[in-house]
A and B are shown apart, each in its own frame.
Chain A
Amino acid sequence: MSGAELRVDGIDVSFDAVHVLRNITLRAAAGEAVALLGASGSGKSTLLRVVAGLVAPDHGTVTVDGIDITDVATHRRDIGMVFQDNQLFPHRSVADNVAFGLKMRGVDKRARRARAEEWLGRVELDGFAERSVTELSGGEAKRVALARTLAAEPSIVLLDEPLTGLDRELHDQLVIELVRLLQLADTTVVLVTHDVDEAHAIADRTLTLADLQDGGAAR
């Protein structure tokens, strides 16, 4: 796995007649990590949701490795996403959360289990497999969320403010871990954040939404 090339062309999104995204264009080369900076409410998250297929654009296309996936359902896109508030499934154990994507891909139980354990080791949560996700600390829950997305080995990973809301020390520690994990995963990454240092630490290239407007992103 070495990630897929992502192209977003001329995306328009409006909610109730309010334009959130207007003619947005974005390119990310295979294996590249791109960070999108901007104030909250500027539409960055909406762009990620368009890429993930969670929000249908009014205009424009999303292309992965040259294939137009604009009308493809989220679950068929092979695009993973880490949500700001993790969205761990509260009725499943840590291991079952991490293995969920593999289960959806039809990986058999034993292999799933082994891969989940492996990823839990990578995020330094050995021995957490049977824990309930509702009992995790903020940092532990974030690591489980990262492991869950990466374990599915998506061709593109979207990170929506993944480290927002954590205290400074934990934040800085997780930035380092995240860089390591993303290198390990060797995938294309689009990171949305409002933290410039975080963006520079994680991404190969940092952009703002303004850069993407009206074709300005090609640079």
Chain B
Amino acid sequence: MRSRPQSSSSINRLPSGIVATLVLIPASALAVFYAWPFITLMVEAVDVEAARATFERDRTWSIVWFTTWQAVVSTALTIVLGLAPAWVISRYSFVGRRLLLSLLTAVFVLPTVVMGAAFLALFPDSIDRTAWGVIATHVVFNLAVVVRTVGAVWEHLPHDMEHAAATLGATPLTIFREITLPLLRPAVTAAAAIVFLFTFTSFGVVRVLGAPGTRTIEVEVWRRATQLGQVDQAAVLALLQLAILGVVAILSAQSSRRHSRALALRPSSRPVRPRTPRTKALVMVVASATAIVAAAPLVALVVKSFASPNGWTTAGWTDLGSAEIRPGLGLGLDPIGALVNSARTAAWSTVFATVTGALAALGIAAAGRAGRFLDAGLMLPIATSAVTIGFGMLITFDTDPYDWRASWWIVPIGHALVAVPFVVRSTLGVLRAVDGRLSLAAATLGASPTRAWAEIVVPHLWRPLAVGAALATAISLGEFGATSFLSRSGGETLPVAIAELLGRTGSLLQTKGYALATILAAATVALVMLVDRSGDLSGARSGRPDHTTRDHMTRDHTTPDHMTRNGADHVGR
């Protein structure tokens, strides 16, 4: 279906001047704000002296070791613990099923700083700064990856496949081991790769919850670059992280190629109501346990925003605007100012991302091979860690005439880099569906390619663009990694302010930090829920008669949806 538009003969194409303009604008933005800083950073990193200094330090190796083992353990636990809710949600219909799925999604899209804050609020002090605190946060954070990725395949496995095994004498355990698990394996591997990427490059969670012994490479890059002034060593570490992730990506691609099989996915088996009392009880237990685990940190966050050592207080909320610790002693940080900064930054980055994304989507849909190239290129910023992006921009745009670090637009541009792919993803499916058929129909009615494009294609943009814009806003509001490098004193955004407040002592400051985190959580969840109103795992429900626009739309929702945290992860880093 997707290849159809390309097959429309070249005489019905848009004039190449328009197509070239559409492609070139986003491509240049990508070159200047992503490729150039990235290359500058890599050049900075290729420095024998710096490499020697970095690798001679035991500290470096203990950080690499911690980053790796916590990521492996986090990933393994997420997969193991995520399978039960994935099973229950994909197989059974029960009261609150959609609500549970929404809750997991809401947790997943939270900015990482908020997630760190929520677990800081939940954990007793004894766990707060430990590796296990970080790991537990990662697991709950990423449950939705497993539930959505694995669940989407699981709900398509016919119940009768397992029934067939049972009639051949297989015990329930054998069925799971010999039939279900092997069929889920590609999805499990995919989910594991995503969770590993997220947890290996964890920044926001670790910044809030970590301690000197629990730093990831990502955090150490930030620390050496901005706190210790060891820019060259930080660059070496960034390159090392990239190399490790590259190897993991290759391995996981190989494994998925080996295990991918032509699984003719049938229309999904509708979730059924559990019939036997035992199944009913099991579904109830798994669903409630999952709900409790996912909701507890959020509840703790709100509760802590009203807590003080002397009992309940609303001071964290009512005094949010006062930037003084005590009369006369300034905090050097203005929570209301951070709210305003965040709103302004999000507005601009939404404008940048939506305009660039719209041009890019139109260009990609119209341009054939060059379009696919641009599409892949625009995805690169999500595959790059947020710290790498921010760091690259910091050291690239620091000399005249490119000294843009103090410009008001540099932070919104950084956010827009990460948000553009989401705008493109939400728009492209709709565009392609329209472009192929309706423009040809318009051509037979006498419309020139340009006219058909303006009359038929462009009007279909508004709805998906609104979706993309909402995602862009959510991403910008929560972005932490790149912002940590780029924001100036006085220009702190919400995540930066939250991390600062929670990092200081003083119960009122903590309370304010929790209050700000609550506001950010509410804003993010509201935006994403606005976009993701379907309660389905795979987005597109098969078996629906209209496979056209609607189907494309919902399906293309799934992609950004799966990726949102990737963006939101940048959000947090």
Contact = CB atoms under 8 A, between A and B. Distances in A.
A78 B273 CA distance: 27
Interface in A133-170: 134, 148-149, 152, 154, 158
Given A75-B169, A75-B171, A90-B183, A134 B164 contact: no
B210 to A, nearest CB: 41
Nearest to A151: B168
Contacts of A154: 167
A74 interface: yes
Contacts of A148: 168
Nearest to B169: A104
B490 interface: no
B169 A105 contact: yes
B276 interface: yes
Given A90-B263, A134-B264, A101 B168 contact: yes
A75 B164 CA distance: 10
Contact of A87 (B163, B169, B263): B163
B57 interface: no
Interface in B263-312: 263-264, 273, 275-276
A117 B450 CA distance: 64
A73 to B, nearest CB: 8
A100 interface: yes
Contacts of B169: 75-76, 78, 101, 104-105, 152
B161 A91 contact: no
Given A134-B261, A134-B262, A87 B168 contact: no
A87 B160 contact: yes
B276 A56 contact: yes
B170 A75 contact: yes
A91 B182 contact: yes
A143 B399 CA distance: 74
Contacts, number: 79
A118 interface: no
Contacts of B163: 49, 52, 54, 74, 81, 83, 87
Contacts of B165: 89, 100
Contacts of A79: 167
A86 B92 CA distance: 23
Contact of B164 (A55, A56, A73, A87): A87
Interface residues of B, number: 24
Nearest to A105: B169
Nearest to A80: B167
Contacts of A149: 167-168
B248 interface: no
Q: Taking each of B163, B179, B183, B276, which has the highest tally of chain A beta carbons within 10 Å of its own beta carbon?
A: B163
B183 A91 contact: yes
A90 B264 contact: yes
B174 interface: yes
Interface string A89-101: 1110000000011
B158 interface: yes
B345 to A, nearest CB: 49
A137 B231 CA distance: 63
B166 interface: yes
Contacts of A130: none
A211 interface: no
A197 interface: no
Q: Taking each of A78, A80, A90, A134, which has the highest tally of chain B beta carbons within 10 Å of its own beta carbon?
A: A90
A100 B168 contact: yes
Contacts of A16: 273
A195 interface: no
Contacts of A89: 161, 164-165, 179
Interface string A51-87: 0111110000000000000000111111111010101
Contacts of B172: 73, 75
Nearest to A86: B164
Contacts of A56: 275-276
A140 B461 CA distance: 47
Nearest to A84: B160
A91 B261 contact: yes
A216 to B, nearest CB: 27
Q: Taking each of B161, B167, B170, B171, which has the highest tally of chain A beta carbons within 10 Å of its own beta carbon?
A: B167
B169 to A, nearest CB: 4
A81 B164 CA distance: 7
Contact of B158 (A76, A77, A85, A132): A85
Contacts of B261: 90-91, 132, 134
A53 B171 CA distance: 13
Nearest to A145: B164
Contacts of A55: 275
Nearest to A96: B178
A75 B172 CA distance: 8
B522 to A, nearest CB: 37
Q: Taking each of A16, A55, A89, which has the highest tally of chain B beta carbons within 10 Å of its own beta carbon?
A: A89
Nearest to A13: B275
B387 to A, nearest CB: 40
Interface string B93-136: 00000000000000000000000000000000000000000000
Interface in B132-174: 158, 160-161, 163-172, 174
18 contacts: A52-B166, A54-B167, A75-B166, A75-B172, A80-B167, A81-B163, A85-B158, A87-B158, A87-B163, A89-B165, A90-B263, A90-B264, A91-B182, A101-B169, A104-B168, A104-B174, A105-B169, A134-B264
Given A87-B160, A104-B174, A149-B167, 4 more contacts: A52-B163, A81-B163, A87-B161, A152-B169
Closest 5 A/B residue pairs (Cβ): A104-B169, A101-B168, A74-B166, A87-B164, A81-B167
